[in-house]
């Protein structure tokens, strides 16, 4: 039985991975779910210990420093988790010949290309968070048995994300102000979690797995304003949404104005179907209602 280590398991993606782990598709795997309280990836000794004691075959690294604005104040902490932590995992993975699957972000791009970003597009992060995630990629690219999955606008029915924030704000405010000049694509955490596990299933069947960088988000394109309108529409709410420009919000960290990711590579290599973002949103909202 192969062992899959999931770090950052209390986050929205880790939570979805744990839910999928109980389904029959993955009954041939042993899952170990850890979070900061059980495995601090910046602790080199702790990482080495779990690899030695558990004989890890696959790592899905969901652990990350993700507070985009706060990273401007504490870039060292962001770099510690997102670069040093990944280096610790990669070093142990190399020693045990484990496969690493690491989550990265559209924030490694500056957002001024205005065509879908491919895996080969030039990177130029404009925030401390983006810079720390770029460093994590550089670290992992030194390890040949690794997948880097860049994603964007991740959300689910739990945790702190755009969907849950809009629903919470809608309870107490008749009007919501949402930016319309940032364009990308939402990613439902459950869809992404399934793809990550499908990549592992593919690795089990292939003598030479296609390691490298891949992009994944749901299909389609929208602004945060469009996404907010769809959230309220499909949840039966009628709050007024006022479109504003990014500069009106005066946030500490710069955001990419355009971060649509091309999914051509991941679709062609792994033969996966990617749902449209609005279909996945409806699916996610149905989980909240239930």
- State pLDDT tens for residues 83-118: 999 999 999 999 999 999 999 999 999 999 999 999
Rounded average pLDDT over 136-152: 97
pLDDT per residue over 22-72, tens digit each? 998 898 999 999 999 999 999 999 999 999 999 999 999 999 999 999 999
**Predicted local confidence at residue 250, as pLDDT:** 87
**Helical H segments across the chain, by residue range:** 12-21, 44-54, 75-79, 85-96, 128-140, 162-172, 189-205, 224-234, 246-249, 264-270, 277-289
pLDDT tens-place string over residues 222-275: 999 999 999 999 999 999 999 999 999 889 999 999 999 999 999 999 999 999
Mean pLDDT of all residues in 162-182: 96
pLDDT of residue 25: 87
Q: Residue 129 carries which DSSP code?
A: H
Q: What is the mean pLDDT of residues 156-169?
A: 95
Distance separating alpha carbons of residues 78 and 68, to the nearest angstrom: 9
What value does the mean pLDDT of the chain take? 96
Find the catalytic residue in 58, 117, 129, 258: 129
Instruction: From residue 270, give the alpha-carbon distance in Å to each of 198, 216, 231, 267.
Output: 8, 12, 30, 6
What is the arithmetic mean of pLDDT over 152-167?
Answer: 96
Top pLDDT among 114 and 119 is at 119
Q: Is 180 a catalytic residue?
A: no
User: Helix, strand or coil for residue 97?
Assistant: coil
pTM for the model stands at 0.96
Whether the per-residue pLDDT at 80 is higher than 80: the answer is: yes
Of residues 27 and 202, the one with the higher pLDDT is 202
With beta carbons less than 8 A apart as the criterion, state whether 64 and 9 touch. no
Task: Assess whether pLDDT exceeds 70 at residue 290.
Answer: no
Predicted local confidence at residue 289, as pLDDT: 67
Distance CA 252, CA 245 (A): 15
- Tokens describing residue 121: 């597009």
The label of the residue with tokens 């504003």 reads 244
């Amino acid at each position: 039985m192969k062992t899959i280590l999931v770090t950052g398991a209390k986050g929205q993606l880790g939570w979805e991975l744990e839910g999928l782990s109980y389904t029959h598709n993955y009954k041939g795997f042993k899952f170990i779910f850890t979070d900061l309280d059980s495995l601090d990836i910046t602790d080199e000794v702790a990482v080495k210990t779990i690899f030695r004691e558990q004989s890890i075959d696959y790592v899905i690294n969901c652990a990350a420093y993700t507070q985009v604005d706060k990273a401007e104040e504490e870039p060292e902490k962001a770099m510690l988790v997102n670069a040093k932590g990944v280096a610790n995992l990669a070093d142990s993975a190399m020693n045990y010949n484990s496969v690493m699957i690491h989550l990265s972000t559209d924030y490694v791009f500056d957002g001024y290309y205005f065509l879908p970003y491919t895996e080969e597009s030039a990177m130029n992060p404009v925030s401390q968070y983006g810079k720390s995630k770029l460093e994590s990629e550089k670290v992992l690219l030194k390890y040949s048995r690794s997948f880097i999955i860049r994603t964007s606008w991740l959300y689910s029915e739990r945790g702190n994300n755009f969907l849950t924030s809009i629903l919470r704000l809608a309870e107490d405010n008749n009007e919501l102000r949402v930016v319309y000049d940032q364009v990308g694509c939402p990613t439902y955490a459950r869809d992404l979690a399934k793809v990550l596990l499908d990549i592992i299933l593919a690795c089990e069947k292939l003598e030479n797995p296609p390691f490298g960088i891949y992009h994944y988000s749901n299909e389609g394109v929208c602004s945060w304003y469009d996404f907010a309108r769809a959230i309220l529409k499909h949840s039966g709410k009628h709050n007024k949404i006022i479109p504003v420009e990014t500069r009106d919000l005066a946030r500490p960290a710069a955001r990419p104005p355009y971060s649509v990711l091309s999914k051509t590579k991941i679709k062609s290599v792994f033969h996966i179907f990617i749902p449209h973002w609005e279909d996945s949103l409806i699916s996610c909202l149905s989980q909240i209602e239930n």
